[in-house]
Amino acid sequence: MTRTGRHRLIGACAAAAVMTLTCLLAGMARPAFAAGNLIAIDVENNLTPTTCAEEDNVSLKLSGTDVARFAVEALPPPYLASLQADRSASDLSGCSFNGGVHPTDPRHASKAATRVLFDGAQWRIVGITQSSFWRSQSVPVTLGSRTFRGIHLLQVFKKVDGRPREVAVMYPSDGNWRIKPLPEARFGDGAYGSSMLIGPIETHQRPVVDISSIVVTTLPLSLHLKFKAGGSATVTLGEVSTLRTALDVRLSPLTSLTSSRRDRRPFAMLRSMYVAPDNADVSEVTWRAPGDTSPRTEALPNVTALQARQVRFGRSVPSRHNSSAPDLRFSNFRN
C-alpha cells in the first residue's frame, strides 16, 4: 500500500470511528526504566533516491546486541510554533501512479468492516478491515474474552474531555506502527509522518514484521505481540499529550538465533519519505554517540551508519509534506 493509501485510510477511518461511536534532545521528560544496562545501538541508513513523495524510500535499521527494552517518542517538530497552517494533502507530482493502491501491490479481497473493540473512559480502540489489503496474513487480535480476525488496521484514540483523539495506528498484517502527539487545535487531527517496525524484520516485497498474534490489555494500554520468527514484544502507551506520545517497548530475545545473528538482525526500523529537505517526513538525524557530551546533527543523505545512545529522526526545516507530522526519537536502549 502506498503512503497515500495509508494516510487516506487512517483519516477516513478516524472520522468514521468518531462519528459512529527548543531543543531537539534536551529539556524533555524521559520514560522511567529500572532494570538493564544502558547501551548504544547501530543505525544503518538505506536511502534510495525518488521524486515521489508518496513512496517510502527511507529505511533506517536499528540493531544491537540483545536489546530488551527501549523507548520511542513522537515529538512535535521544532518549527511547529511558527507553522501557520498544516499541509497534509497527497503530493503525486513526482509519482508514476495516480495514488491509492500502488500498481505493484497484491490485492487480497476482504469484507470491509469497522468494529469498536474497546470504549472506556481513557481509550477507544477501533479495528478496521479493508475491502482489500496488500498482504493476506490474518493476525488474531484478542481483547478480553473476544478474538477478532482479519483486522488490517488498529486505531488507538485517547479521550480528551470525552472526545476521542487518534494518537496511534498499527497494522497487524505487516507490523507497521504510526504514532503522533495530540495535535494543537489549529492543526485539526494533525498528521502522521514516518512509520516504524518493531520486532524481527523480514523482507517480503518490502520490510515487514510477521506477527502471529496480538493481545490487547487496557490497564495500562499495551499490545502484546508474538512473532512468527520467535520472541515477543510488549508495547505500552505512556504519556500522551501535545508534547509527545511515548511508547515503552520490551522485547524478549530471539533465542532460536545464534548470538552472532542476533547482533546483525535489526530490532526496529524507521520507514519514511525523503525527496528534498523541504519535501520530506524525515530530513535529518540527530544523535548522541557513546562518549558524546552534546548531540550531533547531519542531513539524512549524509548519514550512512552510526552508533547512538539515542537518536532522533526529524526535520528542522518546515516541510510542504505532512508539515505538522512528528519527529520520532528512540532512546533508553537496555540489554
Note whether 231 and 216 are within 8 A (CB). no
Q: What is the pLDDT of residues 84-109, one digit of tens each?
A: 777 767 777 878 766 555 666 677 77
Give the structural domain span for 329: 3-334
At residue 265, does pLDDT exceed 90? no
Predicted local distance difference test score (pLDDT) of residue 269: 98
| Range with lowest mean pLDDT among 2-6, 76-80, 209-213 | 2-6
- In this prediction, residue 186 has a pLDDT band, given cuts at 50, 70 and 90, of confident
Predicted local distance difference test score (pLDDT) of residue 104: 65
Note whether 110 and 130 are within 8 A (CB). yes
Report the distance separating Cα 300 and Cα 140, nearest Å: 37
Beta-carbon contacts of residue 229 (< 8 Å; ≥ 6 apart): 199, 200, 202, 210, 254, 256
Q: Is residue 220 reached through a cis peptide bond, with omega within 30 degrees of 0 on the bond before it?
A: yes
Phi first, then psi: give them for residue 46, nearest 5 degrees: -115, 80
User: Distances from the Cα of 245 to the Cαs of 145, 158, 235, 281, 321, in angstroms?
Assistant: 28, 10, 13, 17, 21
- Domains held by the chain: number: 1
CA-wise closest residue to 212 among 197, 235, 229: 229
Predicted local distance difference test score (pLDDT) of residue 136: 77
- In this prediction, residue 137 has a pLDDT band, given cuts at 50, 70 and 90, of confident
Note whether 214 and 141 are within 8 A (CB). yes
Predicted local distance difference test score (pLDDT) of residue 22: 37
At residue 30, does pLDDT exceed 60? no
For 57-105, the DSSP string reads -EEEEEE-SS--EEEEEEE--TTGGG--S---S---TT-SS-SSS-TTS
